Structure 1
Amino acid sequence: MGVLKLLTDKIRFSREGEVLQVEAYGEHVIRVRAAVGEVQDENWTLLPAEACRAEIFSLDGGGAILKNGKLQAEITKAGKLTFRNNSGKVLLEEHWTAERDLDARVLRHSPYGLTHIEQRMVAFADEHFYGMGQEAHDLFDLKGATLDLCQQNTKSTIPFVVSSRCYGFLWNNPAIGRVEFGTSGTRWVAESAAQLDYLVIGGDSIAEIERRYCMLTGYAPEFPMWATGMWQSKLRYETQEELLEVAREYKRREIPISMIVCDYFHWPQQGEWKFDKEYWPDPEAMIRELDEMGVKLLVSIWPTVDPRSENFEEMRINNMLIRSEWGPGTLTFCRGPETYYDPMNPEAGEFVWGKVKQNYYDIGVRNFWLDEAEPEIAPYDYENLRYWLGNGMQVSSLYPFYYAKNFYDGQKAAGQKEIVNLIRSAFIGSQRFGVVLWSGDIMADFDSLRRQIKTGLHAAMSGIPWWTTDIGGFHGGDVNSPEYRECFIRWFQFGAFCPVFRMHGFRNRPGRPTTPPYCLDGFCPSGGPNELWSYGEEAYEILKKYVQIRENLRPYIFKHLQKASQDGTPLMRPLFYDFPEEKNYGIFDEYMFGPDLMVCPVYEAGCRERSVYLPMGSVWIDAASGREYGGGSTISVEAPLARIPLFLRKGGTITEDMLR
């Protein structure tokens, strides 16, 4: 038992070893915090709560209710929490196990003066979960999954889920841990944290909950029109002239591109944020020529710092680097032992941005590829990391948030209006710093393509409206292989209907040179060609067609990315977002691309037809044939190699001609 206190704006419950606080955090949102001592006012990356009017009532028998808009929390005199909607339906309930005397909330000592935390919730058999950032785990419904809470290459942890029971759950904690969406219960774990902290979001629909979540965590800035076209990239253009010649060839072929990428190791040494003049002799002239062609330049940035770098000693002395709690400070190896700058340290953020501004921004670079954003360390011994804000077990998931923030703040201070940076990892609220999240260094095969469809939809449900994938996958891919060409074409078709349309990959390059600049001392070779004309004539004609379709759709894409910046509605979203009454919680291979277009990717080798479910409440037009279908039925459609099945909602703003 414990002591329950009803205050003006919160409920407090105390028992031995725990102080619990339940309060409103903006309209329709209830926040729960618990600590061994007094709860802290640390919001991490959340925005301040908007004002709201919550009501608190005492109950017969000693409990209490906090009511806030469309959500209410009931606490018993023993401290058990249950969340309901206004009709009284239980949405979420703590799991207390009387038979084994297990509490739903666990707070016990962990190292560094912190606490091991667990929160158990009741499992409902008919419940489905979506979100949690991005990970290529091949799961759409997360029910039954156990997910680590950490940042790694191909894995971005954004600990927010929407439930089919119509609530959102935000685990407000950057600590290393895990979540178990089990069939016998849900459990959230933080291995080492100051307090338990989560928010429950109520609403009448998943779309409303998603919008409310974005109010708490921030909206993406306005996506510029110029960025809605195709981005050209490969690992890696070795010289200034090679990159320019690729852009010139696109221009000669009259194939429009929005951006071209200068990838990693264009610098002399890691931790020296500048062009290597031997291979990039006049970047200002390069940028001017690209501008004349209407092409932007995206420049890769790594946060790694080599001990041989000209900046290492100054950064080390001034505590601008991630440190080890014990042992050497080497965190990874890439052309030597490397550490990383610590973006959580404001001085380090200003130092790195100062170098970037001097050597890139001031000569015309405006867009940055924030790679290695987890950061990628080996091994992932988080407890051995010391950041400005604390031990790695407590704060590691914040790295990509502050990495993006350092650049965004610097660009805004320099007067930049349109900020579009690419990043490999994200956390709660990263979207407000103008980042395009991409899904990391994935494999180049059909299995990976299937996973990416699910990954993109989870990212959308995690508040990330700007998402992309390496078209064709990253690791491997033989441009001369008929089998791989088929995979690439299907991936390109899918990519044309992602929020950001971006080529990239480390293509096979048999017999590639082993001398600089192609191999950089044998550690970082360049991959093979990855341009539209690299895949043979048949593929080239198909790929050109989808570039043109993307061009036709750019005003539509721009319009609905603007909507995401206004209310959080994602451009790419699962069917249950637009058609909640149908409860299509298992359909991952059809998704809405804005309100008027349903995309049905092909993700199996040799597939030339597929079944498509048409949601109820609309008349659907097959973009290929113009044939109309009523909703509520499943049909079989042809899917020749040159075609991805697309369906228009009758009465919308897209016409069949735009998709042919």
Structure 2
Amino acid sequence: TQDELLKVAREYKRRGLPIDVIVVDFFHWPKQGEWKFDPVYWPDPDGMVMELKDMGIELMVSIWPTVDKTSEHYEEMLEKGYLVRTERGHRVGLDFQGATIHLDVTNPKGREYIWNKAKKHYYDKGIRIFWLDEAEPEYSVYDFDNYRYYLGSNLRIGNLYPREYAKAFYEGMKSEGQNNIVNLVRCAWAGSQKYGALVWSGDIASSFESMRNQLMAGLNMGIAGIPWWTTDIGGFHGGNPDDEKFRGLFIRWFQWGTFCPVMRLHGDREPRQPQYGTSGGASCRSGADNEVWSYGEQVYDICVKYMNIREKLRDYTRELMKEAHEIGTPVMRTMFYQFPEDERCWELSDEYMYGDRYLVAPVLYDAAKEREVYLPKGCTWKEIESGSVYQGGTTIKVTLTLESMPVFERL
């Protein structure tokens, strides 16, 4: 709710913690496909946006392309051909919190339609960042041959959907005179980077195995030409902030997130909160608190340490983003990308370079006491926690503590 969101934002400021963006997540609307705040739970969005801006915080709002058959725009969109069609059966795409079908973003008029609604209910209130969720899009039944878009069958052009989804908001925001457009999106395709796509890796499991997979995903995304990338720190599905085992995972993920292109905390924590209200999206209950102070004092102190490290990297990170924008260089770089002449670097998959200066070796296993780190040849390396200096071309064993993650600066 509006009260809950502002309470969190004020607490970050009271504690003196850095925060750039806070998010209004899904089901803040009366019904899917209405793309506006539900006044029952968000009585004064204009005042909320103004207070956040006064605190130096931008508001990001979740958008879903699903349209409930009982929503206020469904009949109009159906008549104008702005919805995905089915070759057979009932026109239903995702049956979640209502029977819905997706906006057809491959239709230029469909893109214009959703932007006009978003502009009226969000952009004109001062909201300048959007979270374009459900971007694949997600179907209840994946009969790809059954779905037909404006540009053709799903089988033929379906992978274009997330790109055109990002394009809808990029074009709309550009038409309003906005520059430096970045929107969070759950999926991407070749060319999505042209439309300000910041891709996150979706609703992933809260486990070390999942964390290892995310590292691979981020590195592959970068060399595929999409440098803006992030994950849900701690994973999305599950995880109880009071569980010591999960706290260990959360710490390791938070440390790694410090050296990702975008550092972002999000997840559906357990146990779920009681249902608040009965109308709108009330039945889609919120998860447990998931702020840096929700995990106990030890975790909090480690989080603050790494948030401050991230702040010190702000100018450096901006330079990496500028380089990525101008020539496509990944922000997270595989070792072989940065050191192609070092044969050992072609074999590494559990460490990477954050730009050309920092070698990052995430802790990827539960309760790990040490890990090996290969330092590429031809360089001298300084471990940023201890200050120890090493010559390149060697593999070292690093003793691990919960309070730190191995990171080496290239001298």
Please state which band the TM-score falls in when normalised by the shorter chain: over 0.9
State yes or no: 1:385 paired with 2:147: yes
User: Are 2:27 and 2:280, in contact at CA under 8 Å, matched by a contact in 1?
Assistant: no
State yes or no: 1:292 paired with 2:29: no
Offset at residue 514 of structure 1 (A): 3.4
Q: 2:357 aligns with which of 578, 586, 596?
A: 596
State yes or no: 1:329 paired with 2:91: yes
User: Are 1:257 and 1:295, in contact at CA under 8 Å, matched by a contact in 2?
Assistant: yes
Q: Percentage identity across aligned positions?
A: 51
1:539 match: 299
SS in structure 2 of the partner of residue 368 of structure 1: strand
**1:234-280 deviation line (CA, Å, top 9, x unaligned):** xxxxx101100100000000001010000001000101011001110
Offset at residue 417 of structure 1 (A): 1.6
Q: 1:621 aligns with which of 368, 373, 382?
A: 382
SS in structure 2 of the partner of residue 585 of structure 1: helix
User: Are 2:33 and 2:73, in contact at CA under 8 Å, matched by a contact in 1?
Assistant: yes
**1:553-586 deviation line (CA, Å, top 9, x unaligned):** 0000001110011100111111000111123223
SS in structure 2 of the partner of residue 251 of structure 1: helix
**1:514-548 deviation line (CA, Å, top 9, x unaligned):** 353699464x2210000000000000000000000
User: Are 2:193 and 2:225, in contact at CA under 8 Å, matched by a contact in 1?
Assistant: yes
Distance (whole Å) between structure 2 residues aligned to residue 338 and residue 594 of structure 1: 43
1:502 match: 264
CA distance change for structure 1 residues 278 and 432 in 2, over 3 Å: closer, same or farther?
A: same
Higher-helix-fraction structure:
2
Count of residue pairs brought into register by the alignment: 410
Q: 1:394 aligns with which of 147, 156, 159?
A: 156
Q: How does 1:326-405 map to 2 (within 5 A)?
A: 326-405=88-167
Distance (whole Å) between structure 1 residues aligned to residue 181 and residue 24 of structure 2: 17
Distance (whole Å) between structure 2 residues aligned to residue 521 and residue 488 of structure 1: 28
2:289 match: 529
1:431 match: 193
User: Are 1:602 and 1:644, in contact at CA under 8 Å, matched by a contact in 2?
Assistant: yes
State yes or no: 1:559 paired with 2:333: no
State yes or no: 1:568 paired with 2:328: yes
Distance (whole Å) between structure 1 residues aligned to residue 17 and residue 409 of structure 2: 26
SS in structure 1 of the partner of residue 38 of structure 2: coil
Distance (whole Å) between structure 1 residues aligned to residue 279 and residue 257 of structure 2: 28
**1:87-128 deviation line (CA, Å, top 9, x unaligned):** xxxxxxxxxxxxxxxxxxxxxxxxxxxxxxxxxxxxxxxxxx
User: Are 2:340 and 2:346, in contact at CA under 8 Å, matched by a contact in 1?
Assistant: no
2:398 match: 637
Which amino acid in 1 is paired with 2:308? Q
Distance (whole Å) between structure 2 residues aligned to residue 534 and residue 518 of structure 1: 28
Superposed structure 1 runs of 4+ greater than 2 Å apart: 514-522, 583-586
User: Are 1:261 and 1:297, in contact at CA under 8 Å, matched by a contact in 2?
Assistant: yes
Distance (whole Å) between structure 1 residues aligned to residue 193 and residue 315 of structure 2: 22
SS in structure 2 of the partner of residue 492 of structure 1: helix
With the length of structure 1 as denominator, give the TM-score of the two structures. 0.61
User: Are 1:268 and 1:275, in contact at CA under 8 Å, matched by a contact in 2?
Assistant: yes
Distance (whole Å) between structure 2 residues aligned to residue 312 and residue 586 of structure 1: 52
Gaps of 5+ in 2: none
With the length of structure 2 as denominator, give the TM-score of the two structures. 0.98
Q: How does 1:143-542 map to 2 (within 5 A)?
A: 239-509=1-271, 512-516=273-277, 520=281, 522=283, 524-542=284-302
User: Are 1:470 and 1:504, in contact at CA under 8 Å, matched by a contact in 2?
Assistant: yes
SS in structure 1 of the partner of residue 222 of structure 2: helix
Gaps of 5+ in 1: 1-238, 651-660
Distance (whole Å) between structure 1 residues aligned to residue 277 and residue 93 of structure 2: 25
User: Are 1:518 and 1:526, in contact at CA under 8 Å, matched by a contact in 2?
Assistant: no
Distance (whole Å) between structure 1 residues aligned to residue 152 and residue 340 of structure 2: 42
Identify which range, 260-269 or 625-634, moves more after superposition: 625-634
Q: How does 1:119-158 map to 2 (within 5 A)?
A: none
**1:308-347 deviation line (CA, Å, top 9, x unaligned):** 1110001001110001011110011111111000001011
2:342 match: 582
User: Are 1:519 and 1:525, in contact at CA under 8 Å, matched by a contact in 2?
Assistant: no
CA distance change for structure 1 residues 351 and 544 in 2, over 3 Å: closer, same or farther?
A: same
Q: How does 1:76-115 map to 2 (within 5 A)?
A: none
Higher-strand-fraction structure:
1
Identify which range, 583-592 or 424-433, moves more after superposition: 583-592
CA distance change for structure 1 residues 539 and 280 in 2, over 3 Å: closer, same or farther?
A: same
Distance (whole Å) between structure 2 residues aligned to residue 644 and residue 292 of structure 1: 35
Distance (whole Å) between structure 1 residues aligned to residue 28 and residue 278 of structure 2: 9
User: Are 2:353 and 2:359, in contact at CA under 8 Å, matched by a contact in 1?
Assistant: yes
User: Are 1:592 and 1:599, in contact at CA under 8 Å, matched by a contact in 2?
Assistant: yes
User: Are 1:608 and 1:641, in contact at CA under 8 Å, matched by a contact in 2?
Assistant: no
Which amino acid in 2 is paired with 1:569? T
Distance (whole Å) between structure 2 residues aligned to residue 275 and residue 627 of structure 1: 53
SS in structure 2 of the partner of residue 287 of structure 1: helix
Which amino acid in 1 is paired with 2:324? A
SS in structure 1 of the partner of residue 341 of structure 2: helix
**1:474-503 deviation line (CA, Å, top 9, x unaligned):** 000010011000000000000010000000
SS in structure 1 of the partner of residue 346 of structure 2: coil
Distance (whole Å) between structure 2 residues aligned to residue 590 and residue 280 of structure 1: 44
